[in-house]
Amino acid sequence: MSYLPYALAVWIFVVGLYGVVTSRNFVHLVVCLAVTQSSTYVLLLAIGYVDRGTAPVFADVPTGTRAVDPVVQALTLTDIVVSVTVAALLLALAIQVQRRNGTMNPDELNELRG
Amino acid sequence: MDVLVPLPVAIPLIAAAALTATGHFLGRRADDLVALAASAATMVISLLLVFQASDHRLAYWFGGWRARHGLALGISFTVDPAAAGFAALAATLMTASLVFSWRYFDEVGTLFHVLMLVFLAGMCGFALSGDLFNMFVWFELMGAAAYALTGYRVEERGPLQGAINFAVTNTLGAYCVLIGIALFYGRTGALNLAQIGNTLAGQKPDGLVVVAFALVICGFLVKGAIVPFHFWLADAHAVAPTPVCVLFSGAMVELGLYGVARVYWTAFEGVPGAHAGGLTNLLLGLGALSAVVGGVMCFLQRHVKRLLAYSTISHAGVILIGIALLTPDGLAGSASTVIAHGLLKGGLFLCVGIVLSRLNSVDELVLHGHGQALWATGTLFTIGALGLAAPAPFGLFLGKSLLEESAAEHGYWWVAPLVTAVTIVSVAAILRVAGRVFLGLGAAEDALLSPEPDEEREVERDPERSSVLMLVPTALLILAGIGIGLVPGLEPHLQHAADVFRDRHSYVATVLQGRIEHGSVGSLELLQLPAASVAWSLVSLFGAIGLAALALCRHRLVPERARRRTHALAGGGLRVLRSVHSGVIGDYVAWLTFGVAAVGGLLAVVLR
Amino acid sequence: MTRQLRIGLFALSAAGLTALLLWSVAGLPAFGHYHERYGTLLKKVAVSERHTTNVVTATVFDYRGFDTLGEEFILFAAVVGVALLLREVREEGGHARRRDRLVSDPVGLVGIGFCAALLLIGLYVVAHGAITPGGGFQGGVVLAGAFALIYLAGDYRSFRALTPQPAVDFAEGLGAGGYAVIGVVSMVLGSAYLHNFGPFGTAGTLASGGSVPMLNLATAVEVTAAFVLLFTEFLQELPARSGES
Amino acid sequence: MIPLQAMAMALVAAFALAIVLTRDLVRLALLSSLYALALVVLFLIFQAPDVALSELVVGAVAFPLVILVAVAVQRG
């Protein structure tokens, strides 16, 4: 158990990459990219986890209670915002591509060859 | 004076937000003015910071959270001449580019200015930050603004997916950086660069440290357009509006390489110990590969923006070579190359912008002979290209000579001929364009060049458009780039900046202990012109002119049989090289994965 | 490159990358045994120094408040970018604009009810950010969701009337700019950018945390506007369907 | 606790794979919402309620909606 959450992050990262590489549709590609990024959430939170710790919110528990790391959570919050914004931008670009070229399959668009 | 430190980020951001809030009520020229004023103010403040920091390094803690007992609580900007200089370069190019845009776009919405300002803030923040996660945040901000700008007012109908290729590869690079950050945080419990470095120093590098470092530098190398992470660059340049290309080639790519250097000398320098030579070899290899691939691909283009983009890849390789040497002179050479190349390449892109707006094309063959009326643009374009050839003592000469000397001193004799050779090839390509477009030399057909899709223009341009406001920033950039090597005292200042940049102990002392360490620049002597460097510079200058002439007039100069022989010899290799640059995002990501695995694996081998 | 070749290259590289990553995570402290200094220090000092019981919020808006400034503007830039890209295509293509959908009144009423509930939840989540989990970002998305629900409940015209483009743009600029300007206020008061100038109030109450609630509010405004804008821009892309007025 | 953790992690791993292998776009939107929900559970187990709330509103609701719009545009 002690290293499994880290391995999960690695799994998500590689699987997401596989999705990006093999994708035949920009919408699918964007979702796979978001999956890839979610590996970083899992990795960060898993690193900061403390056995039998509470959330780092001392509203109902006294300060000094054993709690998980707050910094990784702050980083992950930023990370989630980054993820959704990049995804939205990419989808907007994909919609433009669809309008101009009539396809969302990256493999069919190779005008930039060479 | 510390009060200036947050301003290069705060001013453009506040101006951008204000423009968004009021954009519906202001006219086009008010937008232009606000954006220009904010960008110019950022430039001035960054320049002031360069001078301020040349005396002593500044550590500025946001929120007033100074480090306690050597532990960082908040986020710091750590300003040394290199950091402030990068912010100043980005702001200078941005200002020139905004002046240029004044007449370039027929109509431009508020949102274009907003994104340009946010882009500038991202670049400044990335350069100044002393916190690894904070660097990631600015890296992403730079990215988000850049992806949107790439897709804006697309100048050609077809290859819009260039913007997507750019966004996807750079986003994946950012994830690599983030995973590296998470690993570093797991090991050291720190995000501040000085503190990470302090904790890691002297430890034997284990898997975690090696892989975390590999991931962080690979992520930055994606931005730095180093082979095999470089594919997105030409695609993005082909799509992005020309004023945006100025910043991509002139500042953004170099910031990626700056990130590598910054992280190495703050966080990682204490780790490799005796194995630093292995790291040098690895980075030298990547730099040399990029320089060669960029140069050759550059020569094969007829789409002038793509051609210049590949030339940027070639120069990025050279800059990485200077960093890879891990010497003060190498670093100073890289810094000098960054400045001169940024100004010159920015000016060259602006020339292309003028050509595009007057002649409605960026295709070298289509434009054959059509540029003869644009003599001023043509002259500037040619001067800019010659500056890239590093003729002593102009343009890229100072940087090239510094890093060649340093390489020779450390036994890398092959660096000088290699850099000279790739300079010849990439500059010859630009000169070929100048000859064909502005002088009408050579033929209007060239089987060597990559085929381009049929062009279909978005907007009909106005050939009568007054171009003074476009010519002035172009001329200023190119002349500044040419003359930069003549600035008295530049060389000792660069060397001082490089020394400061490499001094991890004083960095840690300033950031974590709050000690102010004064340094002084050596005497302001006149530029040295070492004989070997001057010889190489003459070779690259005349070689480039000669090769350009050969490319234009090879039907007259070279006998038919020799041409066919060369074609048979080189054709296969060129075909493979071309087909690798497929324009398909899946391929690019596969190469990116390959690159990360290869760099990580090689680092593991050389560092342990 | 053919597809097979690409997948082959990827498979080879991914195998190497996986090995490298597994090798590196093996160097991390075992899951659940993390005790590094940064987080430990913040857990110890945040409540007493800043009177915010939620240490994550204290980190987000105070200790690492500068990261959040960048994050705000990433969202800002992306939404401006989406608007830039999609508005341009729409103006150029001039394709059919979104029209009202015909939805029966009961569905609409239920939608309005949900919408009111969402508004309340959103405001609650925003307001309690410094005390309990939540804050400007999460609450802002919920608030934007309330607006989107008006659309889903069937009334596109009310959605547009409630969210006129200049007003949303204004709120977007105000929120993001407000965050950056609060930082400057600290400088005017003579301290570092984004320095928390207090007063800190009593831990556990809504106004505790000095400038944290203000930054939180600015974030809430920015995020709400950003997501409303995002929804608006994307919903306008929907092709007009048959059977619509 | 341990079985719950293991279950949430298995769910996340499985959904990630499912998303990558799905070619049907409507199903993709649904799966990405479910994937985000699985992540929410995992984050709650990791004692990260703030992050879980973010992932819930963004990953499970807002993002899938935007995907659906993009899919609708594509189908014209």
The CATH number covering residue A24 comes to 1.10.287.3510
Neighbours of chain D (3+ CB pairs under 8 A): A, C
Reported as type and span, the H/E element at residue A65 is none
User: Which pLDDT band, with edges at 50, 70 and 90, does C100 fall under?
Assistant: very low
Greater confidence (C187 vs C96) lies with: C187
pLDDT on residue B288:
97
Within chain A, how many helices (H) and strands (E) appear? Answer: 3, 0
User: Are the C-beta atoms of C99 and C245 separated by less than 8 Å?
Assistant: yes
User: Are the C-beta atoms of C219 and C136 separated by less than 8 Å?
Assistant: yes
User: Are the C-beta atoms of A47 and A41 separated by less than 8 Å?
Assistant: no
Tokens 């003028």 -> residue: B354
User: Are the C-beta atoms of B76 and B60 separated by less than 8 Å?
Assistant: yes
Q: How far is A73 from chain C, CA to nearest CA, in Å?
A: 7
User: Are the C-beta atoms of B130 and B28 separated by less than 8 Å?
Assistant: no
Whether A25 contacts chain D with CB within 8 A: yes
**CA pair distance B4, B12, nearest whole angstrom:** 13
As a whole number, the mean pLDDT across chain B is 89
Nearest to B124 by CA among B146, B139, B105, B104: B139
Say yes or no to pLDDT of B570 above 90. Answer: no
Q: Helix or strand or coil: residue C222?
A: helix
**CA pair distance D76, D72, nearest whole angstrom:** 6
Q: Helix or strand or coil: residue C229?
A: helix
Greater confidence (C208 vs C14) lies with: C14
User: Which pLDDT band, with edges at 50, 70 and 90, does A26 fall under?
Assistant: very high
Contacts of residue A114 in chain B, CB cutoff 8 Å?
Answer: 297, 300-301, 450-451, 578-579, 581
Interface residue of D1, D2, D12 to substitute, partner A, most A CBs within 10 Å: D12
Say yes or no to pLDDT of B33 above 70. Answer: yes
Answer whether D62 sits within 8 Å of C142, measured CB to CB: no
Whether A24 contacts chain D with CB within 8 A: yes
Say yes or no to pLDDT of C219 above 70. Answer: yes
Burial of B19 (0-12, 13-18, 19+ CB in 10 A): buried
Reported as type and span, the H/E element at residue B77 is strand B76-79
The residue of chain B with its CA nearest to that of C225 is B21
At C47-91, the pLDDT tens digits run: 778 777 888 888 888 899 999 999 999 999 999 999 888 876 665
Sorted by sequence, the CB contacts under 8 Å of residue D35 that are 6+ apart come out as: A35, A38, D12, D15, D16, D18, D19, D59
What ranges do the domains of chain C cover? 44-237
Residue C162 Rama label (left phi>0; alpha psi -120 to 50; beta):
alpha
Burial of B425 (0-12, 13-18, 19+ CB in 10 A): buried
Whether D69 contacts chain C with CB within 8 A: yes
Reported as type and span, the H/E element at residue B78 is strand B76-79
Answer whether A13 sits within 8 Å of B590, measured CB to CB: no
**Is chain C touching chain D, with at least 3 CB–CB pairs below 8 Å?**
yes
Q: How far is A54 from chain C, CA to nearest CA, in Å?
A: 12
Question: Pseudo-torsion of CA B269, B406, B226, A6, nearest 10°?
Answer: -10
Mean pLDDT of C14-18: 96
pLDDT on residue A62:
80
**Is chain A touching chain B, with at least 3 CB–CB pairs below 8 Å?**
yes
SS3 per residue for C48-63: HHHCCCEHHHHHHHHH
Residue B146, token pair as written in the block: 């850049």
User: Are the C-beta atoms of A29 and C27 separated by less than 8 Å?
Assistant: no
ipTM, two decimals, is 0.93
Whether A46 contacts chain D with CB within 8 A: yes
User: Which pLDDT band, with edges at 50, 70 and 90, does B27 fall under?
Assistant: confident
SS3 per residue for B85-104: HHHHHHHHHHHHHHHHHHHH
pLDDT on residue C154:
66
pLDDT on residue C97:
47
At B111-139, the pLDDT tens digits run: 889 999 999 999 999 999 999 999 999 99
pLDDT on residue B181:
96
Answer whether B597 sits within 8 Å of C6, measured CB to CB: no
Neighbours of chain B (3+ CB pairs under 8 A): A, C
Listing DSSP states for B554-595 in one string gives: HHHHS-HHHHHHHHHHHHHHHHHHHHHS---HHHHHHHHHHH
Say yes or no to pLDDT of C162 above 70. Answer: yes
User: Are the C-beta atoms of B583 and A109 separated by less than 8 Å?
Assistant: yes
User: Are the C-beta atoms of B303 and B263 separated by less than 8 Å?
Assistant: no
Q: How far is B165 from chain A, CA to nearest CA, in Å?
A: 9
Q: How far is C241 from chain B, CA to nearest CA, in Å?
A: 28
| CA B510 remoteness from chain centre | 29
Q: How far is CA B227 from CA A49, B25, B292, B308, B310, in A?
A: 38, 46, 10, 16, 11
User: Which pLDDT band, with edges at 50, 70 and 90, does B8 fall under?
Assistant: very high
**CA pair distance C121, A90, nearest whole angstrom:** 30
**CA pair distance B499, B509, nearest whole angstrom:** 15
Residue B49, token pair as written in the block: 């910071």
At C170-201, the pLDDT tens digits run: 888 898 998 998 888 888 888 888 888 877 77
- As beta bridge partners, residue B566 has none
Mean pLDDT of B592-599: 97
Mean pLDDT of B21-46: 88
Q: Helix or strand or coil: residue B407?
A: helix
Tokens 């890093």 -> residue: B403
Name the residue among D54, D73, D76 with its Cβ closest to that of C138: D54
Name the residue among A5, A27, A57 with its Cβ closest to that of D9: A5
Parallel, antiparallel, or unpaired: how do β-strands B58-61 and B76-79 relate? antiparallel
Q: How far is B238 from chain A, CA to nearest CA, in Å?
A: 8
As a whole number, the mean pLDDT across chain C is 81
Question: In whole angstroms, how large is the CA radius of gyration of chain A?
Answer: 19
Name the residue among A13, A78, A106 with its Cβ closest to that of B584: A106
Contacts of residue C143 in chain D, CB cutoff 8 Å?
Answer: none
pLDDT on residue B308:
96
At B249-283, the pLDDT tens digits run: 999 999 999 999 999 999 998 887 778 889 999 99
Q: How far is CA B325 from CA A109, B81, B285, B287, B498, in A?
A: 40, 20, 11, 11, 12
Answer whether D48 sits within 8 Å of A68, measured CB to CB: yes
Say yes or no to pLDDT of C241 above 50. Answer: no
Name the residue among A51, A74, A92 with its Cβ closest to that of C56: A74
Answer whether C145 sits within 8 Å of D58, measured CB to CB: no
At D3-56, the pLDDT tens digits run: 888 899 999 999 999 999 998 999 999 999 999 999 999 999 999 999 999 999
Reported as type and span, the H/E element at residue B58 is strand B58-61
At B598-607, the pLDDT tens digits run: 999 999 998 8
Half-sphere exposure of B335 (CA within 13 A, CB side): 30
pLDDT on residue C242:
38
Answer whether B586 sits within 8 Å of A36, measured CB to CB: no
At B328-365, the pLDDT tens digits run: 999 999 999 999 999 999 999 999 999 988 888 888 88
pLDDT on residue C243:
36
What are the two backbone dihedrals, phi and then psi, of residue B542, each rounded to the nearest 5 degrees? -75, -30
Say yes or no to pLDDT of B522 above 70. Answer: no
**CA pair distance B142, B121, nearest whole angstrom:** 8
Say yes or no to pLDDT of A65 above 50. Answer: yes
pLDDT on residue B525:
57
pLDDT on residue B107:
65
**CA pair distance B12, B35, nearest whole angstrom:** 8
Answer whether A89 sits within 8 Å of C82, measured CB to CB: yes
Counting the structural domains of chain A, the total is 1
**CA pair distance C168, C80, nearest whole angstrom:** 11
Contacts of residue C46 in chain A, CB cutoff 8 Å?
Answer: 70
What ranges do the domains of chain D cover? 2-75
**CA pair distance B509, C148, nearest whole angstrom:** 52
Q: How far is A81 from chain D, CA to nearest CA, in Å?
A: 8
At B410-441, the pLDDT tens digits run: 999 999 999 999 999 999 999 999 999 999 88
User: Are the C-beta atoms of B313 and B597 separated by less than 8 Å?
Assistant: no
Nearest to C76 by CA among B316, B524, B111: B111
Nearest to B189 by CA among A80, A50, C54, D5: A50
Name the residue among A19, A45, A73 with its Cβ closest to that of D20: A19
Q: How far is B46 from chain C, CA to nearest CA, in Å?
A: 17
Domain that residue A66 falls in: 4-108
User: Are the C-beta atoms of B156 and B458 separated by less than 8 Å?
Assistant: yes
**Is chain D touching chain B, with at least 3 CB–CB pairs below 8 Å?**
no
Residue A33, token pair as written in the block: 């990219």
Tokens 């609450």 -> residue: C139
Residue A48 lies in a domain: yes
Answer whether D50 sits within 8 Å of C56, measured CB to CB: yes
User: Are the C-beta atoms of C61 and C220 separated by less than 8 Å?
Assistant: no
At B139-189, the pLDDT tens digits run: 999 999 999 999 886 555 556 788 899 999 999 999 999 999 999 999 999
Whether A107 contacts chain B with CB within 8 A: yes
Name the residue among A43, A85, A112 with its Cβ closest to that of B162: A112
Greater confidence (B28 vs B80) lies with: B80
- Beta carbon pairs, B and C, within 8 Å: 240
Whether A67 contacts chain D with CB within 8 A: yes
**CA pair distance B351, B384, nearest whole angstrom:** 10
pLDDT on residue B430:
96
Tokens 């699985």 -> residue: D38
Listing DSSP states for chain D in one string gives: -HHHHHHHHHHHHHHHHHHHH---HHHHHHHHHHHHHHHHHHHHHTT-HHHHHHHIIIIIIIHHHHHHHHHHHHH-
Mean pLDDT of B296-314: 94
pLDDT on residue C240:
59
Answer whether B594 sits within 8 Å of C9, measured CB to CB: yes
pLDDT on residue A99:
80
Neighbours of chain C (3+ CB pairs under 8 A): A, B, D
Whether A112 contacts chain B with CB within 8 A: yes
Interface residue of A66, A71, A84 to substitute, partner C, most C CBs within 10 Å: A71
Whether D10 contacts chain C with CB within 8 A: no
Whether A49 contacts chain D with CB within 8 A: yes
At B234-255, the pLDDT tens digits run: 999 888 889 999 999 999 999 9
- As beta bridge partners, residue B303 has B363
The residue of chain A with its CA nearest to that of C29 is A47
Helices marked H in chain C: 3-25, 37-50, 55-58, 65-93, 105-127, 136-152, 156-162, 165-188, 212-237
- Beta carbon pairs, C and D, within 8 Å: 44
| CA C104 remoteness from chain centre | 32
pLDDT on residue A63:
76
As a whole number, the mean pLDDT across chain A is 88
Half-sphere exposure of A52 (CA within 13 A, CB side): 1
Residue B172 Rama label (left phi>0; alpha psi -120 to 50; beta):
alpha
Mean pLDDT of A64-82: 90
Answer whether B450 sits within 8 Å of A21, measured CB to CB: no
pLDDT on residue B69:
83
